[in-house]
Structure 1
Amino acid sequence: MKPRCRLDFRLRHGSSAVVFPRTGRNLPHFPPHVCQAVFHAMSKTKSFGIELLVSLVCFCAASQADDAQARFDSAQYTNGALHLHIANAHGSRYVIQTSSNLADWTALATNSVSQTTFVENAANFPSRFYRLSSLAGVGSIQTVWIVMMENTDWSTFPDNSDAPYINSLLPRFAHAENYRSFNHPSLPNYITLEAGDNLGLNDGSWLPGSAHSQSTTDHLTTYLKNKGISWKAYSENLPGDGTILPLFDGPGYSLDHNPFVYFYDVTGNPPATNSSYGIAHLRPLETEFARDLTNSNVASYNFIVPNDYDQGEKLAPPLNNRVRQADTWLAREIPVIMASRAYTNGGVIFILWDEGVSS
C-alpha cells in the first residue's frame, strides 16, 4: 500500500515529532535522535521543503516495513549531510547519507537517487532501501498544524470511554506510542518543541526577558521566517485578544505553553507587549482560527494551544474530567481543520501531548 501524506498524528509525550506514513503495516518507531537529526537537516536546506522531509521518512518507513527486523541504530547531521544508520536481523549494518543541498533533496523526493544516496555494504543492502519506489504518489505537504494538549500518558487513551473521538482516530491514522517528554514540567517540553533543545532549562522558572530570553538562539520559526514561509500561533483565552503580545498569564492561558515569547526575534529586546511582529504571529484562537480557515488565510505552519481546561491540564465544569474535556475539544476543532481547503490540499495535523503527568 502506498504511503499517504495526509495524516493525523499523536505522540505519547510530545517532545519531538516526525511524520509517519500510514502504510497499512506496523509502523517503525523512530527514536527522538532520528527525529532531531532529520529536522535539523531540513532546517539547513535552502528551502524548508516539508514535503522533502515527508518523502525521506516515507522512504525509511516503507523500507523498514518491508524488512520487519530492520531498525534505526542512530542518526546524525554532520558536515552538511544527514546519516541514518540501519541494522537488520542478519547483523548487516547500512548507512544512508543524504546531502542537505536543496537540489539533492529534490532528487531524493523524485526517485532520482544516484547523486543523493549512497549505501555502505551495498552488495548486501536490499534494493528497496534506496530505490524509493514506494514514494510513488506521495504528494507535497503544504500546511502543518501542531495541536498541543497536556499531561496525559498514551496508555490513558485506548478503549477509554472518556475519549471516543481520539479512539475513532486511532485505527484511521498513524500514531506513535513510544515517545517521551524531555523533562518536567511543561516549559522545557515546549521550548524543546520550538528550539530542538531545552536550552538549559530544566524547570518552569523562565520568564520572558532578563537572562531567560534567547537573543541569538535560532529556532524553528526563525528558519521559517528566513525562508519566507509563513507561521502563526493560535492560543485560546489569549490576554488582550490579539491587541497586545501576551507576556503574562491570564485566566485559562498559561505563558509556559507559548514557547515563542521566550525569543527576542518574536518579542523584541527587551520584550514588549507592543511588539508588532509578535502580535502579528500570536493570535486569539476563538475569534480568528475558524475565520482564517474559512477565508483560506492559513499560514504554512500553525501552532494551536487550547486553554488550560480544553488541553486537559485542569478540571472544569460541567465535565470535570480532564480526558473528556480534551477529547471534546478535539472532536469540535479537528473536523473544522479537516474540512478546510488548506487541509484537503496537502495538510497534515500533529496532535501532541507535552508530557504524561500532571505538572
Structure 2
Amino acid sequence: MGILPVIEQYKGELEAIFKDLHAHPEIGFTETRTAAVVAERLRAYGVDEVHEGIGKTGVVALIKGKGGGNRRVGLRADMDALPIHEESGLDYASQTPGVMHACGHDAHTTMLLGAARHLAETREFDGTAVLIFQPAEEGLGGARGMLADGLFERFPCDEVYGLHNWPSGQPRKFGIVKGAAMAGSSFFDIHIKGKGSHGAMPHESRDPLIIASSLVGDIQTIVSRNVRALDACVVSVTQIHAGSAYNVVPDTASLAGTIRYFKDEVCELAERRMKELCDGFALAYGVEIELKLRNVFNVLENDAELSDAYMEAAGDIVGAENVVERDEPVTGSEDFADMLRVVPGAYCTLGHAGTVAVHNPKFVIDTGILPVGASIMARVLERRLPLAG
C-alpha cells in the first residue's frame, strides 16, 4: 500500500508545516503559537470539532467516519520543545534563543496533522477519530494535565496510539515492545543544610560538600545492594551545587537526579532507601537534609493485542520486513504512559535517516519520515474502525 494517497499529495505542505513549527519552538505549557497553528490547520481540513485549551495548551479534534459507529480510537502527538540552544545549522533552525525542537515533537505534531487531513477527506472508517495534541511532555506533566482536565471523560476512547521518531539511520523501520516498553521515572532533589566556615578552619564547619560527596557514592549502592539483579533500575545523580568562593566552606549543598524503573515496587524500594540514607547522614553528621521526590513518568505499558494491531497497520505502509517486535525496553521515559494507564493502547518508534541522538543541540530529523508516520497513524485507526462490507 505505501504512503496513503491524500498524505502523498500534500507531503510538501506537511514539510512546510514542520519547518515552521521547528523554527518557532515553545517550552511545555507555553505552546500557544503551536496550538493555534494546529487548531487553524484542523479547521481548514474540515474536522468535525476542535477543542482548545485542554490541559492548558492542548488541542483535541474529532472526526466522524462514514459508518456512524460508536467506537472511538485516539491518536496522540506531543507539541513541546526543549530548553536547548540549537546548533543544527538548518536554514529553518530555531528563531528562539535557548529553545529547540531537539526531540522531534514538531515532527510528531506534523504527522498527526497529516493523518487528520487524510481521515477528514476520506472518512473510510466506522466510528470517531479522537486526535490528541498534547503539551508539555518533557517532564512537565502534560499528559497528566490533560487527564486532570477530563480528557477521556470529555473525549472517550476505546484505545489510543502514539509514536516517536527514532534517529537510527534506518528509515521506515517500525519498532515496538509489548508490555513494559519504557521506564517510569522519579526526580529527586536533596538539600543539605550544614555549617560553613573559613576555608582555613574546616574543623569549625559541618561541611555539606563532604556529606554530598559521600551521599553520591552511597546512593549508587541502592541498586547494587538492594535491587534484585533481574529487576532493572537506574539511579543517577545528575547535579551537584555548592559554594561560591575559594576560601569558604559553604553552608549548603544540593544534589539532584533521577530514578528509572520498570516495576512500581522497585521504585518504591529505591525511594525508601534514598530517604533512609538521607535520614542516616543527617543524624551521623548533625545536619539537616531535606529530600524531595516526585514521580514524573509512569512505566509505559503496551497492550499486547493492540501492539499486534499497530504492527499490522505499519506493515501496510512500510512493508512487513520493516516491522520489528523488539525484546528490550528502553530506560528513557515518555508521559504517554499516563494515558495508557487509563485507556489501553500502544506506542512505537519509527526510524529515520538521522543519527544524532535526541536531546542534542545538533539533532536533525529526516523530513522523509513525515508522510510515513502520518500514514501509519491514519492506517491503524482505519484498521481498528473498519467499515462494514
Fold equivalence (TM over 0.5): no
Could you say which structure has the larger radius of gyration?
2
TM-score (norm 1): 0.29
Greater fraction strand: 2
